[in-house]
Homo-oligomer: A and B are copies of this chain.
Amino acid sequence: MIKKIEFDGFKYIDGGVCAAQGFKANGIQCGLAHAGAAVTNKKNDLAVIIADKECSAAAVYTSNKVKGAPVAVTKKNIADGKARGVVVNSVNANTCNADGPEKAQKMCELAAKEFGLEPTDFIVASTGVIGQPLPIEPIEKAMPELCKGVNYDGNAAAVEAIMTTDTMPKEVAVEFEIGCKKCVMGGMLKGSGMIHPNMATTLSFITTDIAIAPEYLQRALSDVVKKTLNMVSVDGDQSTNDMCCVMANGMAENAVIDSENDDFDRFENALYVIMMNLARMMARDGEGATKLIECVCAGADDIKTAQIVAKSVITSSLFKAAIFGEDANWGRILCAVGYADAEFDINRVDVDLASEAGRIAVCRNGAGVPFSEDEAKKILMEEEITVLVTIGDGEYSAAAWGCDLTYDYVKINGDYRS
């Protein structure tokens, strides 16, 4: 597992989406494996999360023109800023099928019936293969057992159900205070291919017991996603089903956050801690990855420039392959900095490579500087690599996260479907 980054005032705890009070979850194997699928393992493929009381809800979605059917249904259902639960499946993305919308709707109806709620109380999501009709029968059959089994420790069963090519579950939770009230926020996320977000990325569900008005929940999510999930790239492909949802049930009994006050800032910080950790986990577990690569671009005149440069580096296939080979081929870093679509002086660019094994300068003012290949090799042998790119003396910086490009990426994607 990768390191969690420590932040003052935030304590990491267990429990994922069930860490905050008043959230139950469950996952089950309903049997969605498609004809001839490689995905025949015995993992869960259907999950629910349910809140003890009505939540403020907010979400961000893929900006791909091709959208999974669940995206439209979820948008409609949380248009009022409210939700009670999530129903989600893996294996099949329910995308590019004529009957997709009615099946996404049906998933909400099936869950609602079990909890005595309305279908519009549910967020619905799917992930998996595109363009194969979703078999609704296994979902219908499994729903009663799935919903009966929800419990306050159900996060592990639920997170397993959203995994596709993920090699490890991704969840995180923190405890902190807002206005002297103990608050908790937790989340889960699935990777690990078709990851190159623009609006949001992948499937991610976050729960908290904080009291916050829907408008401010949406504002915080839209802000934080830009600095976290949107700064990850695994393969440059933006999914059709990306969705990140937050539900806040208010049970922490803090004063409801309904303006951009200190509590709002605190809330945003908590969301950043959760989503930044999930972003790092997603990058580290990118398909076939053996290393987490973080690129920090500093010295920019504005945040956008820093983000574009950092993301250009971690998106470069050539650079990613070099990192897999533990080769300090910094020319490829500078090349990716150079074709980034942003304005800055390439002759002022400095590049350093760093990891737990040390830090070395490889480029100053756009030109190479002598360095020890042995030292570079030692740095690149670590599992978490940082590339530091300074492009001037501006005050803005941004981080982006990616992974190395390996044989296994090709293997996984050469025969994912059949």
Binding site for B on A (CB under 8 A): 36, 63-67, 93, 95-98, 129-132, 193-194, 198, 235-240, 315-319, 321-322, 324-325, 327, 329-332, 334-340, 344, 346, 363, 366-368, 373, 405-407, 409-418
Residue of B nearest to A288 (CB): B410
Assembly stoichiometry (copies): 2
A-B residue pairs, 8 tightest by C-beta: A130-B331, A325-B414, A66-B338, A321-B413, A131-B368, A131-B331, A65-B338, A65-B346
Q: What residues of chain B lie closer than 8 Å to A339, measured between beta carbons?
A: 63-66, 198, 237-238
Contact A336 B237 (CB under 8 A): yes
**Extra contacts besides A64-B335, A327-B414 (18): CB < 8 Å:** A66-B339, A96-B366, A131-B330, A194-B318, A235-B318, A236-B317, A237-B332, A237-B335, A237-B339, A317-B317, A317-B413, A321-B410, A321-B414, A322-B416, A325-B413, A329-B416, A405-B410, A407-B407
CA distance A37 to B330 in the complex (A): 15
The minimal Cβ–Cβ distance linking A193 to chain B, given in whole angstroms, is 6
The minimal Cβ–Cβ distance linking A100 to chain B, given in whole angstroms, is 8
The residue among A240, A322, A331 with the most chain B CB atoms within 10 A of its own CB is A331
The minimal Cβ–Cβ distance linking A232 to chain B, given in whole angstroms, is 15
Of B129, B236, B412, the residue contacting A331 (CB under 8 A) is B129
Q: What residues of chain B lie closer than 8 Å to A417, measured between beta carbons?
A: 322, 327, 329
The minimal Cβ–Cβ distance linking A125 to chain B, given in whole angstroms, is 17
Contact A415 B317 (CB under 8 A): no
Of B194, B318, B373, B411, the residue contacting A418 (CB under 8 A) is B373
A327 touching B66 in the complex, CB below 8 Å, given contacts A96-B334, A194-B318, A317-B235? no
Q: What residues of chain B lie closer than 8 Å to A409, measured between beta carbons?
A: 317, 321, 410
Contact A98 B367 (CB under 8 A): yes
Question: What are 27 sample pairs from A and B whose C-beta atoms fall under 8 A apart?
Answer: A36-B373, A65-B337, A65-B344, A96-B363, A97-B368, A98-B367, A129-B329, A130-B335, A131-B331, A131-B334, A131-B368, A194-B335, A236-B236, A237-B318, A237-B319, A240-B334, A240-B335, A317-B409, A317-B413, A318-B413, A322-B416, A322-B417, A324-B410, A325-B413, A327-B417, A327-B418, A407-B410
The minimal Cβ–Cβ distance linking A64 to chain B, given in whole angstroms, is 4
Contact A236 B315 (CB under 8 A): yes
Q: What residues of chain B lie closer than 8 Å to A67, measured between beta carbons?
A: 338
The minimal Cβ–Cβ distance linking A366 to chain B, given in whole angstroms, is 6
Contact B410 A406 (CB under 8 A): yes
The residue among A321, A344, A367 with the most chain B CB atoms within 10 A of its own CB is A321
Residue of B nearest to A128 (CB): B331
CA distance A409 to B322 in the complex (A): 11
